[in-house]
Structures are given as C-alpha cells and as structure tokens.
Amino acid sequence: MAISDLTGTVWELNSQVSTLSSAYNWDITCQISYTWDGDDYSRPFERINATTSGRYRITFVPSDQGDWLGYNLSETQWQNETEETLIENIVVSISGGTDATNATLIAWLEANATQVLPEPTVVYDLDNLNLSAGTYTITVKAKATGYADSINSNSISYTILP
C-alpha cells in the first residue's frame, strides 16, 4: 500500500511489534481505543516515542495527562504506565500532526499494524428506475466476482405516491 499521509487513517496494532534501531519522537494527533482489564477505553494521544533502550520501546503519550501506553519489550506486550498490565485490541485513529507524513512512522505502522479500511458504501437512487405509483418490496443481495452471492437481505417496503 502506498500511503504517504496518515491523516484520516485507522490502524489496529499487532499484539507484538518490532522495535526501531533509532530513537524518534513523533508529533501525531490520534484517538486510541483499547481494552484494559476487560473494559474498553478511548482516549486522545498526541505523541509517539520510540527508544532504543529501556523496558518500553514504543510509547503513546496522552494529551489528557493520563497514563501512557507502551510496548514492554521484555514481556512482549502492550501495557499501561501505572498498572503495567496487558492492553489489548489497540486501534489508533490518526487525525493529524506534523509527523503524519513521516516515512519512518508510516513504514513502522505498515509493518506492525493492520490498516482498518472503511466499509464500502453503495448508494442506489430508486428514481432511476422510473417506477409507477405503488408499493414495492426491496431486498439486497451482495455479489462479487469469485464469491458466492449472499442471501437476500431483510425486505423493506417502498411506496411511490400517485
């Protein structure tokens, strides 16, 4: 994938990630959703730090002064700062920052996360059918080359007034 700007992208971080051979301090604005101790959280973050030594090699620094999230190299897992307990299901929604186009950060994300792409949306204008007045039942069936057709969706009624 040829991404040159992270703005507007969403990434699900791998449970284990590779560290970097140099230190970085990236200015990146993002919202991070994650699971900690069985509960779901979502908080704003403003920076990603990468170090070459110490227990935590990658850390996300929050903009709300709460705990940072870090990748503990010795335990090979994501943890929060205070409790040092497992953080899971980390999804990073990037909204900007001066390093949103940083090639090293983009390459690290591409290697250590899966980009979450939006669901495709199909819009069909029923006016194009030139239907006469009456009530019609509409169902949807998904089709794609190389795949079996889906079953019909639940039906809805569509009424055209005279």
3-state helix, strand, coil in the chain (%, to 5): 10, 40, 50
Instruction: Please spell the DSSP secondary structure of 3-62, one letter per residue.
Output: ----TT-EEEEPSS----SS-EEEEEEEEEEEEETTEEEEEEEEEEEE-SSSSEEEEEEE
Residue type, 40: D
Q: What is the pLDDT of residue 1?
A: 54
Q: What is the pLDDT of residue 139?
A: 92
- Cβ 30 vs Cβ 45: under 8 Å: yes
Task: Tell me the two tokens of residue 136.
Answer: 């019609």
pLDDT > 70? residue 27: yes
User: What pLDDT score does 53 carry?
Assistant: 84
pLDDT for position 116: 95
Q: In 3D, which of 47, 15, 17, 19 has the Cα closest to residue 32?
A: 47
Residue 11's pLDDT is 96
Start-to-end Cα distance in the chain: 51
Domain ranges of the chain: 10-115, 126-160
Q: What does the CA dihedral 106, 111, 116, 122 come to, rounded to 10 degrees?
A: 80
Mean pLDDT of the chain, nearest integer: 90
> CA dist 4 to 13, 22, 94, 102, Å?
19, 21, 13, 8
Query: pLDDT exceeding 90 applies to what percent of the chain?
Result: 62
Question: What DSSP character marks residue 86?
Answer: B
Cα distance between residue 28 and residue 110, in whole Å: 16
Q: Is the pLDDT of residue 19 over 90?
A: no
Q: Which residues contact 157 (CB under 8 A, 6 or more apart)?
A: 135, 136, 137, 138
Of residues 121 and 90, which shows the higher confidence score?
A: 90
Higher pLDDT, 51 or 1: 51
- Please write the tens of the pLDDT for every residue from 62-119: 988 788 899 988 889 999 888 788 999 999 999 999 999 999 999 999 999 999 998 8
Rounded average pLDDT over 12-25: 92
Q: Mean pLDDT across the stretch 121-140? A: 87
Local confidence band at 125 (pLDDT 50, 70, 90 cut-offs): confident
Q: What is the pTM of this model?
A: 0.72
